[in-house]
């Protein structure tokens, strides 16, 4: 049977590891040609190579999503390589500096928002015109459970992910008649290198995170990717403006 996104051209930011890499691999498995992007060129190239070795089509483009010129080049490279852009997973993000609000520097605040929020804005700004001209397309912005709940000690991250949901909903309504759908996925605590690094520094954090998971385990990047690829597919043709929690019930507890 044809894959969920058979023949489509896809773009994934933050595709060097974790959820981004999983999204790229699942998109390719389901039949898409994939442009992988990340700041980490070596691991981003590895993601593309894994797809090609499995018989898929993939390219890598180095990009900093907080730089508009990089995003313009990235979207242009995807269109040049594949002739169109059918779906995009705007996944690139950072945890940023932790600490109480009054202890954070403006530099730390701005850095987190520049990647997590402005990066999503810039990607959509340049993906949308391509999809609007085609009369069809699907964008998935990677938010977080921290987009619907407070996360003490991570206010820049939490604020950025809340804002991504508002941006997603607004863009979805603006594009309701253009044929372009925009949704967000809100992962719960997921077994990624970024989270593992944070937990290795603080056993207390690991204990807190696992205690918040009703099923007693972290999610896998592949479980998050499956939701994102569904939203990219025509199976989700009447889904737009949605913020999909994929968190093992942690918000519902």
Whole-number pLDDT of residue 198: 73
- Selected residue with higher pLDDT from 227 and 252: 227
In sequence order, the β-bridge partners of residue 33 are 9
Q: What is the pLDDT of residues 55-98, one digit of tens each?
A: 999 999 999 999 999 999 999 999 999 999 999 999 999 999 88
Please say if the pLDDT value at position 249 is more than 80: yes
List, in sequence order, every residue forming a beta bridge with 154; answer none if it has no partner: 99
d(CA 158, CA 164): 10
Is-catalytic flag, 225? no
- Domain limits, the chain: 9-189+220-245
- DSSP, collapsed to helix, strand or coil, labels residue 206 as helix
> Which pLDDT tens digit goes with each residue over 209-234?
888 888 889 999 999 999 999 999 99
Distance CA 199, CA 207 (A): 9
For 92, phi then psi, to 5°, come to -55, 130
Q: How far apart are CA 189 and CA 192, in angstroms?
A: 9
- Rounded to whole angstroms, the Cα distance separating 151 from 189 reads 12
What is the second-level CATH architecture of the domain 9-189+220-245?
3-Layer(aba) Sandwich (3.40)
Question: What Cα–Cα distance (Å) separates residue 22 from each residue in 37, 172, 238?
Answer: 13, 25, 25
Q: Which of 82, 157, 165, 218 is catalytic?
A: 157
User: Contact, 253 vs 212, CB < 8 A?
Assistant: yes
User: How much is the pTM?
Assistant: 0.95
pLDDT tops 80 at residue 157: yes
Per-residue burial over 200-217, b if 16 or more Cβ lie within 10 Å, else e, is eeeeeebeebeebbeeee
- pLDDT tens digits for range 171-195: 999 999 999 999 999 999 998 887 8
Given the DSSP bridges, would you call strands 9-13 and 33-38 parallel, antiparallel or unpaired?
parallel
């Amino acid at each position: 049977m044809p894959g969920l996104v058979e023949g489509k051209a896809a773009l994934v930011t933050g595709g060097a590891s974790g959820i981004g890499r999983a999204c790229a691999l699942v998109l390719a498995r389901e039949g898409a040609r994939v442009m992988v992007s990340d700041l980490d060129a070596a691991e981003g190239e590895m993601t593309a190579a894994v797809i090609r070795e499995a018989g898929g089509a993939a390219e890598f483009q180095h990009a900093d999503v907080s730089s508009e010129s990089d995003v313009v080049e990235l979207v242009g490279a995807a269109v040049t390589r594949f002739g169109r852009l059918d779906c995009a997973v705007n996944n690139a993000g950072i945890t940023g500096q932790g600490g109480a609000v009054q202890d954070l520097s403006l530099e730390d605040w701005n850095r987190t928002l520049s990647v997590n929020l402005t990066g999503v804005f810039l990607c959509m700004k340049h993906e949308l015109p391509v999809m609007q001209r085609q009369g069809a397309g699907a964008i998935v912005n990677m938010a977080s459970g921290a987009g619907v709940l407070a996360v003490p000690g991570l206010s820049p991250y939490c604020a950025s992910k809340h804002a991504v949901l508002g941006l997603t909903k607004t863009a979805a309504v603006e594009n309701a008649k253009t044929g372009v759908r925009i949704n967000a996925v809100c992962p719960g605590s997921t077994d990624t290198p970024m989270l593992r690094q944070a937990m290795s520094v603080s056993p207390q954090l690991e204990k807190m995170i696992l205690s918040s998971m009703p099923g007693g385990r972290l999610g896998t990047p592949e479980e998050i990717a499956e939701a994102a690829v569904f939203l990219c597919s025509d199976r989700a043709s009447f889904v737009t403006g949605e913020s999909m929690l994929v968190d093992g019930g942690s918000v519902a507890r």
